[in-house]
Structure 1
Amino acid sequence: MDAAASSQKAMVDHGDQPHVLAVDDNLIDRKLVEKLLKNSSCKVTTAENGLRALEYLGLGDDQKNTSNDSGLKVNLIITDYCMPGMTGYELLKKIKESSIMKEVPVVIMSSENIPTRINKCLEEGAQMFMLKPIKQSDVKELRCRLMKYSS
């Protein structure tokens, strides 16, 4: 097993409830994703934009003042692509550039099916690209992939 796989396994082994950070600037979409993830037995933390997500992950500009002092590990980040201030793609790049979070799978969601955008995100390291609106079956597939990826 390579280092990335063992790191993934360690992140999921902490319990049966993966901890997912859901990032979306649209409150309704954010609540929908949160509900679907909770229905799939995930612990969910939400953020309304990329900057808030980075702060939660301890990757913000002021890293010593991180809100993730509780020691909660995030097993998966699911983010909208189109957000003001910082796109999901830019968030993905910052996460993948980080030494402490680069192994965490990132899933990008978008209501726009643009192949060049999808390919760009996958090439940058996104685990999956999902089209909105997200359905329970999408979350089940995501959870299966996360568990398969971690073993």
Structure 2
Amino acid sequence: GSKVHMIITDYCMPGMTGYELLRKIKESSNLNVPTRIKKCLDEGAEEFMLKPLKQSDVKRLRCHMMQLGQPCNGRLCMGR
């Protein structure tokens, strides 16, 4: 199968939370912040952005994550 390089998702979705989605992705893969963001980072999320998002924020994050084909290990917060 294809290797996933980046997933952009909302924390609050119909039918499951972002935590549940992240857990499912991690199970099927081989591979001082607010509590919700900290939990996502603890579960393995690499980065986060806060709403409202601007297209330029998403483009900048994508470029940041895709540098040299390597996932970023740092923490980056964009938005408000």
If the length of structure 1 is used for normalisation, what is the TM-score?
0.39
Contact 2:37 2:48 in 1 (8 A): yes
Contact 2:5 2:66 in 1 (8 A): no
1:149 CA displacement? 6.3
CA deviation map 1:87-109 (0-9, x unaligned): 1111011111223xx54xxxxxx
> Between Structure 1 and Structure 2, whose CA radius of gyration is higher?
1
For the aligned residue pairs, the C-alpha RMSD in angstroms reads: 2.3
User: Distance in 2 between the 1:133 and 1:149 partners?
Assistant: 28
Q: Counterpart in 2 of 1:19? A: none
1:133 CA displacement? 1.7
Q: Does 1:83 align with 2:10?
A: no
Moved over 6 A (4+): none
Q: Secondary structure of 1:90's partner?
A: helix
Letter in 2 for 1:79: T
Q: Counterpart in 1 of 2:41? A: 122
Decide whether aligned partners of structure 1 residues 118 and 75 sit closer, same or farther in structure 2, where only a CA change above 3 A counts: same
Q: Secondary structure of 2:49's partner?
A: strand
1:72 CA displacement? 6.1
Richer in strand (by share)? 1
Identity of aligned pairs, percent? 72
Q: Counterpart in 1 of 2:75? A: none
Letter in 1 for 2:50: L
Q: Structure 1 unaligned runs (5+)? A: 1-70, 104-113
Letter in 1 for 2:5: N
Q: Does 1:143 align with 2:54?
A: no
Decide whether aligned partners of structure 1 residues 143 and 116 sit closer, same or farther in structure 2, where only a CA change above 3 A counts: same
If the length of structure 2 is used for normalisation, what is the TM-score?
0.68
Letter in 1 for 2:13: M
